[in-house]
Structures are given as structure tokens and as C-alpha cells.
């Protein structure tokens, strides 16, 4: 496929939110796109908009292999992979069960890894772009969202290493770090730890789920504009390693980096004094 013919996109998690808006924007731009969903009803909804979708569960290896094979057969090749599927989890770290944390990691981290590994062999020969949708919570930890932050921090580290591994093959890895966008993330897509601990009552850790639910529907980020920004960045002749989306994300991530620099500077001599004499 030539540049004139456009790109082919494979996007996970397009039933709603940023993923759905991105699929719409890609189609409007003239590129071809196939998205993944978990329910047949969503396939039908997207088909009504002229968007192709297939059933794929990123938690299941066999489902991922089938979905990637089907998408590749339909598109001929995949130029842009967008790992977008995921969900949130609210609760103090102490209150989370290991099973709940594993579930978040299974989808948000291992799910993205499964899909990526399935497509790397073909992309190594054709080149392309892998978009990892992490979060500002993949750079900044927030009380009450430890499991979600852990999954996105892990995806950030994997993506940095992957970027260096695939650069020699003409594959660019773009890490997208959205702030608060007006999607279902803070509402229906955000799960809550099954256990609560009275000691955290009134703190952000204990009230995170309630706070996010109250925030749902008022987030400042427009997912349609976020989708357009991702497309423009993918098409750029010199795309960055990271794309931060939203003024809130820009401010919070910048403040985190300033704090890291401050800590390093203040403790530089202690850090350097650990070498053998």
C-alpha cells in the first residue's frame, strides 16, 4: 500500500470513548480501519457508521491470534496498531485484592503486549507505527488508583524498550498519555475494589471511586479532538516518542518531572557517594 492509498489502522477497544472517536476520525480521513470490541451489538453499531469491527478479547491469547489474523486478511497489512483497550480500577492499595490487581494488569498491560507481539513479525518487514495509549496516570501516581497506575506505568516501560528495539526496522512506537477526557472511563468503565477500609474514609484513596463518578461527564478533554491529534501525530514526518493529551496532563506531568529533577538535585551528592572508593 502506497502513501497515496492511505494507511490501515487496527485499534483495540472501539466500543466507546477515545477508541471509538479515533475509529471514526480515521475513517473520515480516508484511511481504512478495523476496530475490536467484545460484544456483537457493538459490531452492529459500528457497522451502521461504516466502521468495520471484529470480536476480540485482549485477555485471551487465542482470541488475539484469531483477531489479528482476520484483521490482516481484511486489510492486507496493518500500518498502525493502536493499543487502546483497558479499564480503570479505584481503591486504596491496601484494599485491593491480588485478583483485582491481576485483572487490571491482564487487560491494560498483558492485553496490549499480546496484540503487539502478534503484529510485530509482520510490522518488522513492512514498517509502521505502534500507538500505546497509556495515561497521565502512567507517569504520575494518584492515590486511590494504584492498580491502574501500575498497569500504565508498566506499559510505559515496555513501550520505551520496544521503541528502541523496533526502530531499526522502521517501526515507530508512540506513547499517548491522555488526561481526563469526556468518555465512559470515570463512569461505567471504572471498576471499584470489592473491599473498603474505614481508615481511608474521607481521603482521596478511600473516595476515589465516588470522586471519579462525580467527575464523569464534566471532564475537560474532547475525545474527538484527541483522536484528531493522534492521527496528526502518526502522520507527522518526525513524530515524538510521547504525545501528552490535555492541559491537565501537560501540567501534572510537567510538575512530576520538575519534582524528579528537584529530588535528584537535592540528593545528588548522596546518590554519587555510593561508588567504591
Mean pLDDT by 10 residues, the chain (277 residues): 71 94 96 96 95 97 98 96 95 96 98 98 97 97 96 98 98 96 73 90 88 80 95 97 97 98 98 95
Burial class (CB in 10 A: 0-12, 13-18, 19+), 202: exposed
Specify if 271 maps to a domain.
no
CATH number at residue 187: 3.40.50.720
Specify if 263 maps to a domain.
no
Specify if 89 maps to a domain.
yes
Specify if 82 maps to a domain.
yes
Q: Which of 9, 10, 109, 148 is flagged as catalytic?
A: 148
Q: In which residue are the cell numbers 495509549 written?
A: 133
**Cα dist from 79 to 134, 175, 193, whole Å:** 20, 16, 38
Specify if 29 maps to a domain.
yes
Is 148 a residue of the active site?
Answer: yes
Total number of domains in the chain? 1
pLDDT at 4: 44
Specify if 201 maps to a domain.
yes
Q: Is the entire prediction scored with pTM above 0.75?
A: yes
pLDDT at 3: 43
Specify if 262 maps to a domain.
no
Range of the domain at 233: 3-248
Specify if 277 maps to a domain.
no
Amino acid at each position: 500500500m502506497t502513501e497515496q492509498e492511505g494507511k490501515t489502522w487496527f485499534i483495540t477497544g472501539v466500543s466507546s470513548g477515545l477508541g471509538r472517536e479515533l475509529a471514526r476520525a480515521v475513517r473520515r480521513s480516508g484511511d481504512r480501519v478495523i476496530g475490536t470490541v467484545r460484544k456483537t451489538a457493538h459490531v452492529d453499531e459500528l457497522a451502521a457508521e461504516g466502521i468495520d469491527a471484529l470480536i476480540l478479547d485482549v485477555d485471551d491469547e487465542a482470541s488475539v491470534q484469531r483477531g489479528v489474523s482476520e484483521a490482516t486478511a481484511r486489510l492486507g497489512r496493518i500500518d498502525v496498531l493502536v493499543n487502546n483497550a483497558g479499564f480503570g480500577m479505584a481503591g486504596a492499595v491496601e484494599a485491593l485484592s491480588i485478583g483485582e490487581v491481576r485483572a487490571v494488569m491482564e487487560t491494560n498491560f498483558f492485553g496490549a503486549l499480546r496484540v503487539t507481539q502478534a503484529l510485530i513479525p509482520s510490522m518488522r518487514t513492512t514498517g509502521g507505527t505502534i500507538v500505546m495509549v497509556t495515561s497521565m496516570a502512567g507517569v504520575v501516581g494518584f492515590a486511590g488508583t494504584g492498580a491502574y497506575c501500575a498497569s500504565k506505568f508498566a506499559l510505559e516501560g515496555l513501550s520505551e524498550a520496544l521503541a528502541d528495539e523496533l526502530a531499526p526496522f522502521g517501526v515507530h512506537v508512540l506513547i499517548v498519555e491522555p488526561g481526563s477526557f469526556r468518555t465512559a472511563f470515570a463512569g461505567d468503565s471504572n471498576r471499584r475494589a470489592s473491599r473498603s477500609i474505614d481508615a481511608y474514609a474521607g481521603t482521596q484513596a478511600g473516595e476515589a471511586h465516588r470522586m471519579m463518578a462525580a467527575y464523569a461527564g464534566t471532564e475537560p478533554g474532547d475525545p474527538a479532538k484527541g483522536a484528531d491529534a493522534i492521527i496528526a501525530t502518526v502522520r507527522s514526518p518526525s513524530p515524538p516518542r510521547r504525545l501528552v493529551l490535555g492541559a491537565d496532563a501537560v501540567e501534572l506531568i510537567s510538575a512530576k518531572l520538575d519534582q524528579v529533577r528537584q529530588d535528584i538535585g537535592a540528593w545528588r551528592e548522596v546518590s554519587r557517594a555510593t561508588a567504591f572508593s
